[in-house]
A and B are shown apart, each in its own frame.
Chain A
Amino acid sequence: MKRIVLFPALLFLVSSAIVIAQGGAQGVRSDTLPPGKNPHLGNKESVRNGMTLYRWRCGECHALDATGYRGPDLTAVLPGMPDERLFQVVRQGVPGTEMPASNSPDDELLQLMAYLRNLSTVAPPDTPIGNVEHGKQLFAANCTSCHRVAGKGGRLGPDLTRVGAARSRTALVREIRTPSDWVPPGYETVTVVTKDGQKIRGAKKSEDVFSVQVMDMRERLQGYIKSNVQEVIYDKASLMPAYPAQRLSDSDLNDLIGYLTTLRGADVTVQ
């Protein structure tokens, strides 16, 4: 028995992770990192246990090699994240994302952390690679109509305010050069043809047998009852245009990624 896929896969992954976390063994469950050095750090047995825990609870979203799948690339995230923060993220989850909270005992989280600290990570360079200023200009010229950074820009594509912390350089290159390789849920391309022939193209936000919910190219959110429209056309190509080398040189790509890696979150606290 176990983890039976029920809802859309992402929801399932989240719920199963919560369920598994809730089913942990006995032990203390702290809100913050327990004081003192992680006793499991460097311990071969602990690292192995941590690997098993990671593969069960994290691998589905972050990939078995931790380079990111549906969730962020941990090899890019971990170097800049102190233990206190890492513990907090695993314990409390990340509000507003699919990352669930964990109710596992501290000891399991510490073993998990011992494994994560053993991974071969790709630390972000102290000085970003490429011409960041030029990358920013490229971003403003090509990307901001659809992508938002720190509250400015379009909303048709994913918000990139934290993309530098969430994606490795490799993942960013892939997503810029060949965005149609994988389109995340909530951003798949769809065209609704109304009964009077009007075509509404946009990002599919949700869908079931009887209805589809769309953000059109003008960012208008609208639900459609399928029986009231002529046709719903699904397109495997992403709404985001591909940027092959002919369109964006390797040098420009380097500058753009240099800028993107500086995007590591904005403080939205109201003072």
Chain B
Amino acid sequence: MRRALLLIVLCSITLAAQQGPPVITSQDLMDGLKDPTRWLTYSGNYFGHRHSPLTQITPENVSKLTAQWTFQTGSLGSFQATPIVVDGILYVSGFNNNAWAIDARSGRQIWRYRHNVPDDLHVCCGAVNRGLAVLGDKVFMNTIDAHLLALDMKTGALLWDAKLADYKMGYSATAAPLVVKDKVIIGMAGAEFGIRGFIQAHDVETGKPAWRFYTVAGPGEPGGNTWPQGTDAYLHGGGSIWVTGTYDAEQNLVFYGTGNPGPDYFSANREGDNLYTCSLVALDADTGKVKWHFQFTPHDVHDWDSTQVPVLADNVMINGQPRKVVMFANRNGFFYVIDRVTGKLIHAKPFVTQTWAKEISPEGRPIMIPGNQPTETGTRTCPDLGGGTNFMSPSYDPTTGLFFVTARETCAVYFTWEQPYQPGVQWESGGTQRPRDQRNFGALRAIDPKTAERKWEFQYTSVSSSGVLTTASGLVFAGDGDGNVMAFESRTGKNLWHYQLGVAIRSTAGTTYMVDGRQYFLVPSGSALTAFALPQ
């Protein structure tokens, strides 16, 4: 009996030793890129900087970057995810609810998980997925049919499956989840189908919902008076979340940009500011209660979701005073710097050509230029529905204090018509056309948040949806709309290197990590991941 007991104890000790400590802790996530060999969250750190401390690849040697390996999914559908990197292993999601673990040294697949995609999916823009989140030894994944999954990091096995909403009503989940402490936070997409958007937190261990914040305020709730009273407009009011938010641990606040109101272009049935659509919301990470909000585009009629990454920074000198700010390059064409504590505007200036607002008032409200409402016969407005920028991630380099963003110079003719709401049916009540004489193009722009003025730009021949990555060695990595991935000198915008990938980068940017003392630059584009490094 005593011998049997000893055996059990020994086995338990051995098992415990084999399982080891959790792979990723909450502190690891808090530390962001303190260990720059890893990349643990969507934007690299909670502040949304997408700025790596790695310095092996420099402006002097970047021209020698060489492709090391390519991973192909073997199926159609583009990557939009930022891969997570944990100790030499990549965790990445792709089109049609797929997720992979891949050897970061060689590009070889370790495991693959696929969640079924229903045949009767209702989505506006494909079965896309923008990435995973990690904590402990779990990988968290949203699905296009509105589920949140936890997978075993070692095997890809499903641990729990939480249904978020009814995909048949147009709900979908495309953004990478955000893990904060013991919660995994997700957002709901589907404004083009008349959903009522929300941000929701789940327990990381069980998947049980902990709190929900509706991005469309209901009757009797704060902001509920910004929707027509006595109607059900708020139930179909949109407010999608489809890009991952950021987190300020000091204030325990999560920041999310919210999507357009529904329907997109016809607004007679939703008179009012339509809170909290096209806004930045600061939510208590433990309760989901809104601390403050800032609405960029009240009563939007141009489909200008504010679902861009809110980038946080400390010690930004404004009029000689260091300020804690959130920076937001908005789809409506303005770059905003907002006090992160009070939610009050510091300043806002256009970062692309725009024709709809004279300026942003000191209170943060756009002063409208008349004649920009969509009509039956069409109204020309800049930017187009794709906006001044969009879901592509910006980057902030705290050492130079510059904000880098992919800008879009576009205009469109906006049309609108009345269309009744039908459950599960696309509901935009309008559309756009590109004017024939309109030359659209894109650019990488560096903006100084102290003044909201542009420091430099590099123009592309076409519009781009590429995110931006910066490194402490003074490099900016970005892509154009024609399939080139490029490196620039961060202080000047001088182009230093390019490589034709064959398909443009979309939504995500390159990631960088270190394995075996070698810095890799990894680019998702099309259905491939391509890893670059300096020759050995």
A contacts, CB < 8 Å to B = 1-9, 16, 19-20, 22-23, 25-26, 52, 55-56, 59-60, 63-64, 69, 181-182, 207-210
Closest to A55 in B: B431
| Contacts A52-B419, A55-B415, A209-B484 given; does A4 touch B424 at CB 8 Å | no
Closest to B121 in A: A23
Interface assignment of B126: CB less than 8 Å from any CB of chain A: yes
What are 6 A-B pairs with beta-carbon distances under 8 A?
Answer: A2-B428, A6-B465, A20-B124, A22-B121, A22-B126, A207-B482
Which chain B residues numbered 429 to 484 have a C-beta less than 8 Å away from chain A? Answer: 431-434, 436-437, 440, 459-465, 480-484
CB-based contact B415/A64 at 8 Å: yes
- Provide the residues of chain A in CB contact with B465, threshold 8 Å: 4-6
- Provide the residues of chain B in CB contact with A26, threshold 8 Å: 119-120
- Provide the residues of chain A in CB contact with B384, threshold 8 Å: 5
Which chain B residues numbered 122 to 157 have a C-beta less than 8 Å away from chain A? Answer: 122-126
Which one of B213-221, B316-324, B385-393 is at the interface? B385-393
CB-based contact A9/B417 at 8 Å: no
CB-based contact A56/B434 at 8 Å: no
Q: How far is the CA of A208 from the CA of B481 in the complex (A)?
A: 8
Cβ-neighbour of B431 out of A7, A8, A64 (below 8 A): A64
CB-based contact A25/B424 at 8 Å: yes
Q: How far is the CA of A4 from the CA of B386 in the complex (A)?
A: 5
Smallest CB–CB gap between A130 and chain B, Å? 28
CB-based contact A25/B386 at 8 Å: no
CB-based contact A4/B391 at 8 Å: yes
CB-based contact A3/B124 at 8 Å: yes
Interface assignment of B506: CB less than 8 Å from any CB of chain A: yes
Interface assignment of B86: CB less than 8 Å from any CB of chain A: no
CB-based contact A5/B463 at 8 Å: yes
CB-based contact B303/A55 at 8 Å: no
B contacts, CB < 8 Å to A = 119-126, 174, 189-192, 240, 242, 259-260, 264, 303, 305, 307, 378, 384-386, 390-391, 408, 410, 415, 417, 419, 424-426, 428, 431-434, 436-437, 440, 459-465, 480-484, 486, 495, 498, 500, 504, 506
Closest to B122 in A: A23
CB-based contact A23/B462 at 8 Å: no
Cβ-neighbour of B428 out of A7, A56, A63 (below 8 A): A56
Q: How far is the CA of A124 from the CA of B124 in the complex (A)?
A: 37
Cβ-neighbour of B242 out of A1, A23, A56, A181 (below 8 A): A1
Q: How far is the CA of A154 from the CA of B189 in the complex (A)?
A: 50
- Provide the residues of chain B in CB contact with A8, threshold 8 Å: 462, 481-482
CB-based contact A210/B433 at 8 Å: no
Q: How far is the CA of A5 from the CA of B192 in the complex (A)?
A: 16
The 9 closest A-B pairs by CB, nearest first: A208-B482, A5-B386, A2-B124, A26-B120, A6-B465, A19-B126, A182-B436, A23-B123, A1-B242
CB-based contact B434/A9 at 8 Å: yes
CB-based contact B480/A5 at 8 Å: no
- Provide the residues of chain B in CB contact with A3, threshold 8 Å: 124-125, 385-386
- Provide the residues of chain A in CB contact with B461, threshold 8 Å: 207-209
Q: How far is the CA of A62 from the CA of B405 in the complex (A)?
A: 33
Q: How far is the CA of A2 from the CA of B189 in the complex (A)?
A: 10
Smallest CB–CB gap between B248 and chain A, Å? 25
CB-based contact B433/A63 at 8 Å: yes
Q: How far is the CA of A16 from the CA of B303 in the complex (A)?
A: 15
Cβ-neighbour of A5 out of B410, B437, B500 (below 8 A): B410
- Provide the residues of chain B in CB contact with A56, threshold 8 Å: 426, 428, 431
CB-based contact A6/B481 at 8 Å: yes
Q: How far is the CA of A1 from the CA of B243 in the complex (A)?
A: 10
The interface centre, meaning the residue of A7, A59, A182, A207 with most chain B CB atoms within 10 A of its CB, is: A7
| Contacts A56-B426, A56-B428, A209-B460 given; does A7 touch B259 at CB 8 Å | no
Q: How far is the CA of A25 from the CA of B427 in the complex (A)?
A: 13
Smallest CB–CB gap between A259 and chain B, Å? 26
Closest to A18 in B: B126
Q: How far is the CA of A59 from the CA of B428 in the complex (A)?
A: 14
- Provide the residues of chain A in CB contact with B486, threshold 8 Å: 209
CB-based contact A1/B433 at 8 Å: no
CB-based contact A2/B482 at 8 Å: no
CB-based contact A1/B440 at 8 Å: no
Smallest CB–CB gap between A33 and chain B, Å? 22
- Provide the residues of chain B in CB contact with A207, threshold 8 Å: 461, 482
- Provide the residues of chain B in CB contact with A55, threshold 8 Å: 415, 417, 431
Q: How far is the CA of A99 from the CA of B250 in the complex (A)?
A: 53
| Contacts A59-B433, A69-B433, A210-B498 given; does A7 touch B462 at CB 8 Å | yes
Q: How far is the CA of A15 from the CA of B453 in the complex (A)?
A: 35
Closest to B241 in A: A1
Q: How far is the CA of A151 from the CA of B418 in the complex (A)?
A: 47
Q: How far is the CA of A181 from the CA of B437 in the complex (A)?
A: 8
CB-based contact B481/A2 at 8 Å: no
- Provide the residues of chain A in CB contact with B506, threshold 8 Å: 6
Closest to B242 in A: A1
Q: How far is the CA of A25 from the CA of B437 in the complex (A)?
A: 36
Smallest CB–CB gap between A250 and chain B, Å? 25
CB-based contact B191/A1 at 8 Å: yes
Smallest CB–CB gap between B193 and chain A, Å? 9
Cβ-neighbour of A19 out of B125, B386, B434 (below 8 A): B125
- Provide the residues of chain B in CB contact with A181, threshold 8 Å: 436
- Provide the residues of chain A in CB contact with B264, threshold 8 Å: 2
